[in-house]
Structure 1
Amino acid sequence: MKEKVILAYSGGLDTSITIPWLKEHYDIDVIAVCINVGQDDNMEEVYDKAIQSGAIKAYIEDACEEFVTDTIFKAVKAEAKYENKYLLGTSLARPIIAKKLVDIAHLEKAKYICHGCTGKGNDQVRFEASIAALDPNLKVIAPWRIWDIESREDALEYASKHNIKVTATKEKIYSVDANLWHTSTEGGDLEYLENEHSTSVYKVCKSPLDADNKEEYIEIYFDKGVPKKINDEELSPVDLVKTLNELGAKHGIGIIDIVENRLVGMKSRGIYETPGGTILYEAHNILESATLDKDTLHYKQIISYKYGELIYNGLWYSKLRESIDAFIETTQDNVTGTVRIMLYKGIIKPAGIFTENALYDHGISSFGSSDLYDQKDAEGFINLYTLPLKIKALKSLNISKDSCQMEFVSSDRTI
């Protein structure tokens, strides 16, 4: 009996040519596994294509719910970004896909998992790190690091020779990754930094210039940091993200053009569209601004940066990520309430915070008098706060503290 390999299959160019390549170079049976994380492909066609390309079996697994609840909502609570910009759309999906691949490898008693990630990208690390964390006994086959195919043009020629139909062409040769959370576009003319990207590359969003000319107000309700309702309607996690994607796309929300530092050491440029995610991050941030104390909020911002790096670098199944999650969870105890925002031509404008957990107090923060805050108390606070600065100045200027004449005017006395 032949050994089996579980192929992470998308139906795209790279994984489509991988099936005949594996059969040519290994005496092995290929089982194609397509994990649906909201990429909006016709899964019946993907299944048929896998079989027609030579797979002995194909699985189509729906992981959208797990994708949202197990990774996306954790990232929202953390407000995790990579390099303060990228909302980790591809990175967040990989741990879910890898887990499904490992589960099916166990079910099929397969010894190998194969992926179609390029040897220059981050995804090879994300998949293999996750597989190693879940089952280090599984062996990985990475064709892009082995075969003689060196470019997408070569891949297209290989597909043509083996009668495999693909949608990519030499004239329009972008690499696109899509799921429920985002769509990324790379390659082609985007590889030249001097080129302004064309709005024709947008797969989901309207250009802000072409977006609706009328603003739209929406309300999002969070329960302990988890979004639950839009405009007072409770939605399932998947439907909530889909609804926000539609709203954001209509108003040109969530488009970024960035040059990022890949884990493997090079820089790359991509166009990312994350309409619903951008709305959720902003709304969550607005609610936290009112419900978290300063020290917790500021420390969480430091932790969030590291959290984003861990996700980007493929370390979802690490102890550090789990430990940070435990901290993030405690910060969300009071992040409950409704945020009202306005969407208009790529802009998200705060329009109201409604929560019983706000640490903002109008009586204290206003310019009027307050029983809890006497403005006269600020004088003593400032004297103590600035003491290190005064001492440094005295030392640097070689001035005796006794000869230092400083006058402070208060409401009832002069010092």
Structure 2
Amino acid sequence: MEKNQKKVVLAYSGGLDTSVILKWLENTYGYEVIAVCVNVGQKEDFSILKKKALESGASKVYVVNVQDEFVKDYIFPTLKAGGIYENDYLLGTCFARPLISKVLVDIAEEEGAVAIAHGATGKGNDQVRFETSVKALNPTLKLIAPWRIWDLKSREDCIEYAVEHKIPIEATKEKIYSRDENLWHISHEGGELEDPWNEHSKEVYLWCNAPEEAPDQSETVEITFEKGIPVKIGSKDYDGVELIKTLNKIGGKHGVGILDMVENRLVGMKSRGVYETPGGTILYEAHKALEKLTLDKAMISYKNDIAKKYGELLYDGLWFTPLKQSLDSFVDCSQEAVSGTVKMKLYKGSVKALGTKSKNSLYREDFATFGADEVYNQKDAEGFINLHALPLTIQGLKNMEKKQPKGSKEKQGSFAVL
């Protein structure tokens, strides 16, 4: 490498695209390329990736394991918020991107790089998530998205470029699916999924059994939360990473957490994907059940609105925003009482809460019982109903007046409620 050569940090996955991008950056701009592999729980042999990046021309390779940070600062805050996109998607790809961007910026600043490059296409959401995050953290860094500017238009073009420039690549057979994997989920796009009329094949699954092939015997799992954060499975304490991995195995065995959805991408088009989020689905359902026991009606109602907005912010790449930070403050406050244990039943793709218990429970059997009690005067309900329905009563009287024949002098009957 030439001295004083400008540096670029590349988000490197080791696939065909980023391997070609690595060499292209060097050839096109004369950059010294620093490859960065961010471990957010994907199943990869990072020693092989590192070797491949060096063979492809990288001057240096960073492999950064951020799984603990991923869980603590990204997954669990989103779980506590109940963040979800379009009522279904549990945001697995979305909250990994700002963390990866943060790592890229940190290394770029440490290395004195002038730019960050990524392999996201011009059709997807990830380009937005990467670039908005970088702009929030260090807007002085240049952003390079080769798929938006180079002359290579297809996988075949990339293979040709790799062969021409002696870039080490694996088998060139077309992949059926485009996948993204991390600790929380694995997603699948492409192949037969591009036609929304096609039923997806069970061959797509990598983590989960097909529900119809899951065990015939259900399984019950108890999960304990402290202030909205899961800390135990059964009687055993787990750190966040191991807890999610364990629930992924349990949920995957029972076919839990498979989602096939058509979603609205941020860039304007619709796309279809199949997601496997077994552990995450169990945690979301358990957390929701515990909130129903420990939060009051007004809090649950408002928090549902927060969950929708939180999900939209994450999907749109707006993690590092004042609004998202403010929502976190509200969520943290709301979770002070969300401690307790939930008993979950897993069976052939379904997951449901069988029971909940908490020292902060707002459920009082002596108030709720249908049997005799000494704490609730049922006569009080009459006055409550009269006041609760007063606007409707007034509207009803007005409607009755309109129905009277013109000139009629009949008086309305008396109404005890008034």
TM-score, length of structure 2 as denominator length: 0.94
Conserved 8 A contact 2:184-2:280: yes
Paired with 2:15 and 2:107, the residues of 1 have a C-alpha distance of 21
Determine whether 1:49 maps to 2:56.
Answer: no
Conserved 8 A contact 2:285-2:352: no
Paired with 1:22 and 1:151, the residues of 2 have a C-alpha distance of 18
Find the partner of 1:114 among 117, 134, 153: 117
Find the partner of 1:403 among 382, 394, 412: 412
1:125-184, Cα deviation, whole Å (9 max, x unpaired): 111111111111111111011012223343344334444454575543311000000001
Conserved 8 A contact 1:6-1:101: yes
Other-structure match for 1:138:
141
Paired with 2:160 and 2:389, the residues of 1 have a C-alpha distance of 70
1:17-52, Cα deviation, whole Å (9 max, x unpaired): 111111221111111000000001000011011111
Paired with 1:194 and 1:328, the residues of 2 have a C-alpha distance of 39
Mark the CA change 1:128 to 1:322 in structure 2 (over 3 Å): closer, same or farther: same
- After alignment, is 281-290 or 374-383 more displaced? 374-383
Secondary structure of 1:382's partner?
A: helix
| One-letter code aligned to 1:26 | Y
- After alignment, is 399-408 or 93-102 more displaced? 399-408
Other-structure match for 1:211:
214
Q: RMSD of the TM alignment (CA)? A: 1.8
Determine whether 1:306 maps to 2:315.
Answer: no
Please show how residues 13-412 of structure 1 align to structure 2 within 5 Å. 13-166=16-169, 171-398=174-401, 403-404=412-413
In structure 1, the gaps of 5 or more residues are 409-414
Other-structure match for 1:5:
8
| One-letter code aligned to 1:239 | E
Paired with 2:271 and 2:172, the residues of 1 have a C-alpha distance of 21
Mark the CA change 1:165 to 1:270 in structure 2 (over 3 Å): closer, same or farther: farther
Conserved 8 A contact 1:260-1:269: yes
Mark the CA change 1:238 to 1:368 in structure 2 (over 3 Å): closer, same or farther: same
Paired with 2:316 and 2:324, the residues of 1 have a C-alpha distance of 11
In structure 2, the gaps of 5 or more residues are 405-409
Conserved 8 A contact 2:40-2:65: yes
Aligned length: 409
Mark the CA change 1:343 to 1:166 in structure 2 (over 3 Å): closer, same or farther: farther
Secondary structure of 1:332's partner?
A: helix
| One-letter code aligned to 2:412 | S
Mark the CA change 1:402 to 1:54 in structure 2 (over 3 Å): closer, same or farther: farther
Paired with 1:303 and 1:167, the residues of 2 have a C-alpha distance of 45
| One-letter code aligned to 2:158 | A
Conserved 8 A contact 1:153-1:170: no
Q: CA deviation at 1:403?
A: 0.4
| One-letter code aligned to 1:22 | L
Paired with 1:98 and 1:68, the residues of 2 have a C-alpha distance of 16
Q: CA deviation at 1:53?
A: 1.1
| One-letter code aligned to 1:129 | T
Mark the CA change 1:239 to 1:390 in structure 2 (over 3 Å): closer, same or farther: same
Mark the CA change 1:257 to 1:163 in structure 2 (over 3 Å): closer, same or farther: farther
TM-score, length of structure 1 as denominator length: 0.95
| One-letter code aligned to 1:381 | F
Conserved 8 A contact 2:261-2:274: yes
Q: CA deviation at 1:382?
A: 1.4
Other-structure match for 1:411:
none
Secondary structure of 1:350's partner?
A: strand
Mark the CA change 1:55 to 1:402 in structure 2 (over 3 Å): closer, same or farther: farther
Other-structure match for 2:407:
none
